[in-house]
Amino acid sequence: MRGILLVLVLCTTGFTASAQWWAVGPLKKHARYAQMAQVKQYLPKLDGKLSKAAVNRVAISQTIYNITQNERTVMKTAQHQMRFREYAEASYSFNELAKIYLQQNKLSEAKWFFLQSNNLSRQQSNDRLTIANLIELASIKSTIGDFALAQQDLDEAQDLASTHHWNDDIVSVKRHQDNLQRTKLAAVKTDAGLASAGQNTL
């Protein structure tokens, strides 16, 4: 009897709860709230133009130690290349050695290595390097006062550049020819001034 009453009580409670499905079920229209306003981000406007920063070149002078070490390294490389008959590479090594001696104002050594580089570049038909060597040789000869041979080197360089229509080399040779003419004129004026001074002292 007690069991039957307990069942009836439970059924009544469950029926009362389930009878409220229309109030809490998914069919009830829930209240809709207004959407939150979107927050605007205020960013600075960029015009898309970047200013060009000025870059200043800084010349880093080499020390005597660095030049000497570089000379030894390039010399060993050139010797290796000549030993194994790598003449195309050796021509550039000789050119580099000559420039190292120019930095030390050793004109005789520089001239000799430019000549060696020039001989190899001719054998390899490397006219670009030949022109560069002839220009350097002309500069050295002009410095020591051998203007006639300097002019010959520049004339040959100009002929090679004109044959290949290499305008950059043509312009470079022309610039060195102008420098040679100015150096010759300055030397003539100096000699004339010394001669005049010598006559006045007599």
Does 193 fall in a domain? Answer: no
Round to whole Å and give the CA distance between 93 and 82: 10
Of the three residues 104, 125, 146, the one that is the final residue of a domain is 125
At 3, is the secondary structure helix, strand, or coil?
helix
Look at residue 22 and tell me if it is in a domain.
no
Q: How many CB atoms lie within 10 A of CB 77?
A: 17
Cα-based distances in Å from 142 to 129, 152, 153, 181, 193: 20, 11, 11, 10, 20
118 and 164 belong to one structural domain? no
* Tens-digit pLDDT profile for residues 50-108: 566 666 666 566 788 999 999 999 999 999 999 999 999 999 999 999 999 999 999 99
pLDDT at 188: 87
The token duo for 145 is 């006062």
In the three-class reduction of DSSP (H, G, I as helix; E, B as strand; rest coil), residue 171 is classed as helix
Residue 45 belongs to some domain of the structure: no
Q: Are 136 and 117 in contact (CB under 8 A)?
A: no
Tokens of 156: 């040959």
Domain that holds residue 107: 69-125
Residue with tokens 């290349």: 81
pTM: 0.69
Could you tell me if residue 24 is inside a domain?
A: no
Total count of domains within the chain: 2
- Residues 96 and 83 reside in one and the same domain: yes
